[in-house]
């Protein structure tokens, strides 16, 4: 791969369709429920062990997304904006990064504008074809089934950091 994966410092993710299967349950009282997998939570720990910053940009506002992000200590959460470019530009400025230092994972049309900018566009297995066509990697699992974790593991592997991240994870588990 001619791309310098070692430059990747920020991994931005869509939420619905990546962290979830895109389904949500809404009660008559307005209460909303989403199903998240612990696998993606472990993916955030892996990303931290690899010194990879994480941000979420969701096109649809959801309190469930905010609660999950807070639980996982994800500070950069943009929740409820169909146009994801302003959030993307804000993250670039905040961390003083350029497109070549960013990866993004998505599944649908609203993800395409960012995917066309980043160095490492990633699609989930059940993404629409237009997203898969842009992606340089497509996960083997669908959104909601650990696709975020798989993508994190792939980035770490491509950076040549699998062994060091595994050791850091073991050390953190031992010391917890």
Residue 70 domain-assigned (yes or no): yes
Within a domain: 1:
no
In a domain, 68, yes or no: yes
* CATH number of the domain that residue 79 is part of: 3.40.50.1000
Range of the domain at 152: 7-174
- Number of compact structural domains in the chain: 1
Three-state SS string across 119-170, please?
CEEEECCCCCHHHHHHCCEECCCCCCCCHHHHHHHHHHHHCCCHHHHHHHHH
Asked if residue 48 is part of any domain, the answer here is: yes
Looking at residue 2, its pLDDT comes to 52
**Six token digits for residue 57:** 């940009």
Convert the pLDDT of each residue in 140-170 to its tens digit. 999 999 999 999 999 999 999 999 999 999 8
User: Does a structural domain hold residue 2?
Assistant: no
Q: Kindly list the distances between the CA atom of residue 115 and the CA atoms of 13, 67, 148, in Å, as whole numbers in the listed order.
A: 10, 26, 15
CA distance 58 to 80: 6
Confidence of residue 27 (pLDDT cuts 50, 70, 90): confident
pLDDT in tens, 76-124: 999 998 999 999 999 999 999 999 999 999 999 999 999 999 999 999 9
Contact 137, 153 (CB under 8 A): no
Q: At 25, give phi and psi (nearest 5°).
A: -110, 130
Residues in the chain: 176
Classify residue 31: in a domain, yes or no: yes
Percent of the chain surpassing pLDDT 70: 99
Q: What is the pLDDT of residue 1?
A: 41
């Amino acid at each position: 791969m001619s791309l310098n994966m070692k430059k990747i410092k920020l991994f931005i993710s869509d939420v619905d369709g990546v962290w979830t299967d895109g389904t949500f349950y809404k009660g008559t009282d307005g209460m909303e429920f989403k199903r998240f997998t612990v696998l993606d939570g472990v993916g955030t720990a892996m990303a931290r062990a690899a010194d990879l910053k994480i941000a979420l940009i969701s096109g649809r506002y959801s309190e469930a997304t905010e609660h999950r992000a807070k639980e996982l200590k994800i500070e950069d959460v943009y929740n409820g904006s169909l146009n994801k470019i302003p959030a993307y530009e804000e993250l670039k400025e905040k961390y003083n990064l350029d497109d070549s230092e960013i990866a993004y994972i998505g599944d649908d049309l609203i993800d395409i504008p960012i995917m066309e900018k980043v160095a490492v566009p990633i699609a989930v297995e059940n993404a629409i074809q237009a997203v898969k066509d842009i992606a340089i990697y497509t996960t083997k699992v669908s959104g909601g089934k650990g696709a975020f974790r798989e993508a994190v593991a792939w980035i770490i592997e491509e950076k040549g950091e699998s062994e060091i991240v595994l050791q850091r994870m073991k050390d953190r588990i031992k010391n917890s």
